[in-house]
């Protein structure tokens, strides 16, 4: 294989997609590929490096693609996902998904979504979640972390990890940690999109990097969230979780800008989904599928203290549901995800074939 054939670049625009791409980027560089990890900026004038990008690039976020296009890029790309929660509406409503030369579904349920939305997309393969390998293989010294975080030994550790939205509504994001303030071992971690907003708030922990976040997930006894992928990531580690029942969530139906010019799915499908999403009846309805993502415990804000006590008393009550949803949302979370994706991308780039490899 010539060096020319071993060129592949990874392009990101936010912490979230950077974290998803980095493990795969390292896999390729360790295998001898000539790869760059490039940030694309909102300001087009800062994107001069895109002229030197490889023929194929790997993306993990829609905003990255649109920034590239707005800066004059018109190349080919491979897509891996930066999240594994199927409740949100993002997958697969935007045109860029269907322009991918190769797309990896995080799990079977995402493949089901694609089949529901498009009958003629043939560039998809099951890939899993690149972040899961490092998460699974992370080791911690629990006592050291407890001391560093000034936690109370021998008391339950609660990790609150809401999705984005803190800047938009007082009912979203980190604002809900006020209902958990009575717990001495509470750790609140905002979504990466809310890091700057949350930086100077009280009792907030901003992870130093993704490895630091992995350690905190391992440390927790209970993880509480809303529609964040971290509910499922914690479940990969068989952690007890609680999903907060709310009247609406960021990035979820029925609240969507239907005038977004990048939405390409059938308008009837879109309007039907908006019409049939009722969060008061089914708070965790999965977009475009008639199912609810209930992974473990669920709770309203008003009942959260009672639910936490239940979770402490019976942490494995819902262990079968936990495993079921991990298997559907995160394909083969066994610590070898990046190796499988590497082999499928390698096969695609060298042989120009889209082949499912297990």
Each of the 358 residues of the chain gets a pLDDT tens digit; together they read: 444 557 899 999 999 999 999 999 999 999 999 999 999 999 999 999 999 999 999 999 999 999 999 999 999 999 999 999 999 999 999 999 999 999 999 999 999 999 999 988 999 999 999 999 999 999 999 999 999 999 999 999 999 999 999 988 888 999 999 999 999 999 999 999 899 999 888 889 999 999 999 999 999 999 999 999 999 999 999 999 999 999 999 999 999 999 999 999 999 999 999 999 999 999 999 999 999 999 999 999 999 999 999 999 999 999 999 999 999 999 999 999 999 999 999 999 999 999 999 9
Q: Are 194 and 164 in contact (CB under 8 A)?
A: yes
With contact defined as beta carbons under 8 Å apart, do 114 and 121 qualify?
yes
The answer to whether residue 232 is domain-embedded is: yes
Host domain of residue 125: 3-131+334-351
Count of domains observed in the chain: 2
pTM: 0.95
Residue 186 tokens, joined: 């509470």
Give the chain as a 3 state SS string: CCHHHHEEEEEECCHHHHHHHHHHHHHHHHCCCEEEEEECCCCHHHCHHHHHCCCEEEECCHHHHHHHHHCCCCCEEEECCCCCCCCCCCCCCEHHHHCCCEEEECCHHHHHHHHHHCCCCCCEEECCCCCHHHHHHCCCCHHHHHHHCCCCCCCCCEEECCCCCCCCCCCCHHHHHHHHCCCCCEEECCCHHHHHHHCCCCCECCCCCHHHHHHHHHHCCEEEECCCCHHHHHHHCCCEEEEEECCCCCCCCCCCCCCCCCECCCHHHHHHHHHCCCCCCCCCECCCCCCECCCCEEEECCCHHHHHHHHHHCCCCCHHHHHHHHHHHCCCCCCCHHHHHHHHHHHHHHHCCCCCCC
CATH of the domain at 230: 3.40.50.12580
Residue 356 counted as domain residue: no
Same domain? For 29 and 158 the reply is: no
Residues 220 and 116 in one domain: no
Asked, as a colleague might, if the bond just before 61 is cis with ω within 30 of 0, I would say no
Residue 269 lies in a domain: no
Is 58 within 8 Å of 12 (Cβ atoms)? no
Tell me how far apart the alpha carbons of residues 156 and 135 are, in angstroms, rounded to a whole number. 21
Note whether 189 and 239 are same-domain residues.
yes
- Residue 185 and residue 114 share a domain: no
Which residue has tokens 């609240």? Answer: 255
Residue 143 belongs to some domain of the structure: yes
Both 206 and 319 in one domain: the answer is yes
Chain mean position to CA 258: 23
Is 110 a domain residue?
Answer: yes
- Check whether residue 284 and residue 148 sit in a common domain: yes
Give the pLDDT of residue 73: 96
Q: Are residues 304 and 180 in the same domain?
A: yes
Q: What pLDDT shows up at residue 200?
A: 83
Same domain, 124 and 157: no
First CA to last CA distance, the chain: 23
Residues 6+ apart with CB under 8 A from 192: 14, 15, 16, 19, 164
Looking at the fold, whether 284 and 149 belong to one and the same domain comes out as yes
Give the Cβ contact number of residue 267 at 10 Å. 9
- The Cα–Cα gap between 269 and 116 comes to 9
Q: Whole-angstrom Cα distance, residue 226 to residue 242?
A: 8
User: Does some domain include residue 358?
Assistant: no
Domain assignment present for residue 266? The answer is no
Q: Do 290 and 159 share a domain, yes or no? A: yes
270 belongs to a structural domain: no
Tokens representing residue 211 in the block: 């490895």
- Same domain assignment for residues 231 and 309: yes
Domain match, 241 and 343 both: no
pLDDT at 328: 98
């Amino acid at each position: 294989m010539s060096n020319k054939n071993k060129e592949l670049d990874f392009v990101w625009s936010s912490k979230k997609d950077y974290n998803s791409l980095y493990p795969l980027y390292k896999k390729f560089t360790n295998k001898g590929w000539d790869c760059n990890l490039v940030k694309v900026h909102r300001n087009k004038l800062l994107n001069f490096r895109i002229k030197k990008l490889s023929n194929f690039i790997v993306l993990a976020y829609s905003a990255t693609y649109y920034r590239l296009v707005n800066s004059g890029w018109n190349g080919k790309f491979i897509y891996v996902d930066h999240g594994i929660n199927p409740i949100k509406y993002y997958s697969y409503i935007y045109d860029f998904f269907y322009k991918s030369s190769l797309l990896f579904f995080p799990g079977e349920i995402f493949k089901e979504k694609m089949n529901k939305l498009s009958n003629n997309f043939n560039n998809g393969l099951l890939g899993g979640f690149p972040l899961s390998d490092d998460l699974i293989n992370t080791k911690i010294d629990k006592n050291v972390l407890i001391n560093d975080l000034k936690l109370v030994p021998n008391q339950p550790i609660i990790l609150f990890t809401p999705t984005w939205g803190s800047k938009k509504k007082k009912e979203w994001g980190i604002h809900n940690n006020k209902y958990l303030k009575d717990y001495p071992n509470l750790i609140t971690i905002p979504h990466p999109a809310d890091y700057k907003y949350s930086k100077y708030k009280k009792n907030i922990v901003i992870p130093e990097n993704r490895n630091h976040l992995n350690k905190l997930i391992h440390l927790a006894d209970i993880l509480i969230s809303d529609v964040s992928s971290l509910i499922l990531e914690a479940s990969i580690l068989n952690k007890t979780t609680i999903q907060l029942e709310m009247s609406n969530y960021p990035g979820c139906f029925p609240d969507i800008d239907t005038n977004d010019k990048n939405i390409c799915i059938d308008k009837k499908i879109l309007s039907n989904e908006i019409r049939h999403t009722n969060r008061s009846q089914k708070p965790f309805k999965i977009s475009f599928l008639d199912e609810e993502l209930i992974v473990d415990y669920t709770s309203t804000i008003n009942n959260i203290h009672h639910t936490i006590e239940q979770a402490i008393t019976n942490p494995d009550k819902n262990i079968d549901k936990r495993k079921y949803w991990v298997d559907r949302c995160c394909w083969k979370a066994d610590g070898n995800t990046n190796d499988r994706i590497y082999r499928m991308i390698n096969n695609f780039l060298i042989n120009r074939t889209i082949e499912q490899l297990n």
